[in-house]
Amino acid sequence: MATIPKVVRDLIESFERLPGIGPKTAQRLTYYLLHAPKEEAEKLARAAVDLKEKTVLCSVCFNISEHDPCEIDTDLSRNQEIIAVVEDPLDVLALERANFTGLYHILHGSISPLENIGPEELHINELLPRLKNPSAGSGLVAVKEVILATNPTMEGEATAMYIERLIRPLGLKVTRIARGLPVGGDLEYADQSTLTRALEGRNVY
């Protein structure tokens, strides 16, 4: 029986450790690189190394960036009065596609007791200093609204409720992203929870 060379097997196992990559996909990626030009494999390897060496977490919003502070926090054309709190950097990309023009605060996860992830493991405490009114003459704009844009999961809901209780004493406007039926969806295929939220979040037509 033919055996797989160790270097091939090692790369397959490395791909399998990536989220969303199963054994078959890992094998296809490995054998694609095996037959691809050497330059393409070297380019991929260099990009992976650069990803670790040339990116930082923004000390303000904790987004992934090549600069600190990041490009979003230093862009004075954005709405400085609104901060959207999201779970992951990928959520920032989603809101950017939706033309959100405010600022962000990335938690890097959500509260999940089953996985031993509490508020201390997230960037929640760093949010509070950003919400307090800036001193006079600082040139900073006071935050007026916090959008809790965590995922509509049990963990996301628990995280949003925890943050809301923390910032309530500051007297800021706190909103939650609306949830309900997706555009193009059919009522007959919607689950009870989705329909309930769609009814609760209905708007005047």
- pLDDT for 111-166, tens place per residue? 999 999 999 999 999 999 999 866 544 456 789 999 999 998 899 999 999 999 99
Residue 196 — very low, low, confident or very high, per pLDDT cuts 50/70/90? confident
Q: Is residue 68 part of a domain?
A: no
Whether the per-residue pLDDT at 174 is higher than 90: the answer is yes
Distance CA 171, CA 157 (A): 21
Cβ contact 174:146 at 8 Å:
yes
Q: Is residue 152 part of a domain?
A: yes
| CATH code for the domain in which residue 150 is found | 3.40.1360.10
Q: Is the pTM of this model over 0.85?
A: no
Q: Is residue 16 part of a domain?
A: no
Q: Is residue 182 part of a domain?
A: no
SS3 of 46-75: HHHHHHHHCCEECCCCCCEECCCCCCCCCC
Q: Is residue 192 part of a domain?
A: no
Least confident segment among 34-38, 103-107, 201-205: 201-205
Whether the per-residue pLDDT at 35 is higher than 90: the answer is yes
Cβ contact 103:78 at 8 Å:
yes
Whether the per-residue pLDDT at 101 is higher than 80: the answer is yes
pLDDT (mean) for 79-95: 94
Distance CA 23, CA 16 (A): 6
Q: Is residue 35 part of a domain?
A: no
Q: Is 70 exposed, middle or buried (0-12, 13-18, 19+ CB in 10 A)?
A: buried
Distance CA 189, CA 192 (A): 10
Whether the per-residue pLDDT at 66 is higher than 50: the answer is yes
Q: Please tell me the total count of domains within the chain.
A: 1
**Two tokens at 187?**
């009522």
The residue that leads in pLDDT, 135 or 182, is 182
Question: What's the pLDDT score for residue 188?
Answer: 74
Q: Is residue 64 part of a domain?
A: no
Q: Is 87 exposed, middle or buried (0-12, 13-18, 19+ CB in 10 A)?
A: buried
Q: Is residue 58 part of a domain?
A: no
Nearest to 102 by CA among 67, 69, 123, 73: 73
Q: Identify the domain containing residue 132 by its residue range.
A: 82-176
